[in-house]
C-alpha cells in the first residue's frame, strides 16, 4: 500500500509520502513515491503516487523523459502554461499507461490503477493542489478541502481533520503529518518508513525543503512515543463519564 498527503497552507504547500511498496506481505521494498521538477524562478511541480508500481513508475518516467528530450518535448509538464494543464497532462499520461496495460482499456478498479497528488506553482499564478484519479480526471483542493490523501488514508485522517489549520507553520505541519503517518504505520504493515517530505513556500518558485525521514530519525521516534502519552493526557482531560 502507500500513504501520501498533500496539504495547502497559507504559506504554501506541504507533501509527505511513505516509501513502502509491497506485493503481498512477503515481498516489500522501498521506493520513492515523491517526485519533483523545478525550474527555479519559473515553476515547481511535485507529484506523489499511489497504486500499481509499474503504472506509477511508467507515468513518472514518461513525464520525466518528455521534460528532458528536446525533440519529444511536447507536451511537457515543464512547458505547460498552468498547473491545471500540468494536471491534465498527468491525467492523460496516467490514463494512457493504464489503458495500455489493461486488457480492455482503462479499468478504474483494476490491478493497474493508480492515483496521484500534484501540487506546485507556475510563475504568475497561485500555488495549486490536485488529486488525479485513475480515469485521468482530477479535482482541486480548496479552502473547504485543504488536503488530499491517497493510499491508506483512514487511520491518519482524524488527526489531520482536527488539527489542520491553514495558518500553521511548516514546522507544525511536518509535525502534524508525522503524527498522521505514525498512526497509519502503527496500524498497516504496508505503510512504512522512511518518509519523504517537501515543503514549498508560495511565490518562492523553488523547493524550500526536500528531506527524507529515516527509520531511526530521533525526532520521529520522539513524536511516535510522545504521541501515545499525549493522547492519554488529552483523554484524561476530557470530562468524566458517569452512568446514570
For a second copy, give the closer residue by CB, 31 or 159.
159
For a second copy, give the closer residue by CB, 27 or 237.
237
157 binds a second copy (CB under 8 A): yes
CB of residue 10 to a second copy, shortest distance in Å:
18
Map grid coordinates 504547500 to a residue. Answer: 13
CA neighbor of 176 nearest in space, from 62, 9, 30: 9
227 binds a second copy (CB under 8 A): yes
- Angstrom CA distances, 172 to 88, 163, 177, 179, 207, stand at 32, 10, 9, 11, 18
For a second copy, give the closer residue by CB, 29 or 221.
221
Chain-centre distance of CA 178, in angstroms?
13
Binding mask 108-147 for a second copy (x = CB under 8 A): ----------------------------------------
226 binds a second copy (CB under 8 A): yes
| CB neighbours of residue 120 within 10 Å | 26
* Interface residue with a second copy, options 22, 175, 202, 204 (CB under 8 A): 175
Angle, helix 53-68 to helix 83-101, in steps of 10 degrees: 130
Q: Which stretch binds a second copy (CB under 8 A): 42-50, 92-100, 120-128, 218-226?
A: 218-226
CA neighbor of 98 nearest in space, from 53, 162, 129, 159: 53
* Interface residue with a second copy, options 23, 25, 167, 234 (CB under 8 A): 234
| CB neighbours of residue 72 within 10 Å | 12
Q: Which stretch binds a second copy (CB under 8 A): 23-31, 41-49, 114-122, 150-158?
A: 150-158
186 binds a second copy (CB under 8 A): yes
| CB neighbours of residue 56 within 10 Å | 25
CA neighbor of 33 nearest in space, from 6, 2, 65, 78: 2
**Which residues contribute to the site for a second copy (CB under 8 A)?**
154-159, 161-163, 170-172, 174-176, 178-179, 183, 186-187, 209, 211, 219, 222-223, 226-228, 230-235, 237-244
Amino acid at each position: 500500500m502507500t500513504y501520501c498527503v498533500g496539504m495547502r497552507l497559507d504559506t504554501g504547500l506541504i507533501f509527505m509520502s511513505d516509501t513502502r511498496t509491497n506485493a503481498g506481505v512477503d515481498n516489500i521494498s522501498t521506493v520513492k513515491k515523491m517526485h519533483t521538477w523545478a525550474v527555479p524562478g519559473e515553476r515547481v511541480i511535485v507529484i506523489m503516487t499511489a497504486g500499481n508500481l509499474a503504472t506509477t513508475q511508467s507515468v513518472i518516467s514518461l513525464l520525466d523523459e518528455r521534460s528532458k528530450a528536446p525533440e519529444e518535448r511536447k507536451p511537457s509538464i515543464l512547458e505547460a502554461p498552468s498547473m491545471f494543464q500540468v494536471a491534465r497532462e498527468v491525467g492523460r499520461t496516467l490514463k494512457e499507461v493504464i489503458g495500455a496495460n489493461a486488457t480492455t482499456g482503462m479499468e478504474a478498479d483494476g490491478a493497474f490503477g493508480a492515483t496521484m497528488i500534484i501540487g506546485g506553482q507556475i510563475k504568475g499564478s497561485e500555488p495549486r493542489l490536485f488529486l488525479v484519479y485513475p480515469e485521468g480526471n482530477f479535482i482541486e483542493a480548496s479552502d473547504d478541502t485543504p488536503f488530499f490523501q491517497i493510499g491508506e488514508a483512514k487511520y491518519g485522517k482524524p488527526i489531520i481533520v482536527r488539527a489542520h489549520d491553514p495558518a500553521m507553520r511548516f514546522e507544525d505541519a511536518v509535525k502534524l503529518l508525522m503524527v498522521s503517518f505514525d498512526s497509519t504505520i502503527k496500524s498497516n504493515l504496508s505503510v512504512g518508513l522512511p518518509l519523504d517530505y517537501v515543503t514549498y513556500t508560495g511565490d518562492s518558485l523553488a523547493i524550500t525543503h526536500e528531506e527524507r525521514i529515516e527509520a531511526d530519525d530521533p525526532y520521529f521516534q520522539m513524536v511516535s512515543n510522545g504521541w501515545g502519552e499525549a493522547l492519554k493526557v488529552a483523554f484524561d482531560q476530557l470530562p468524566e463519564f458517569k452512568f446514570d
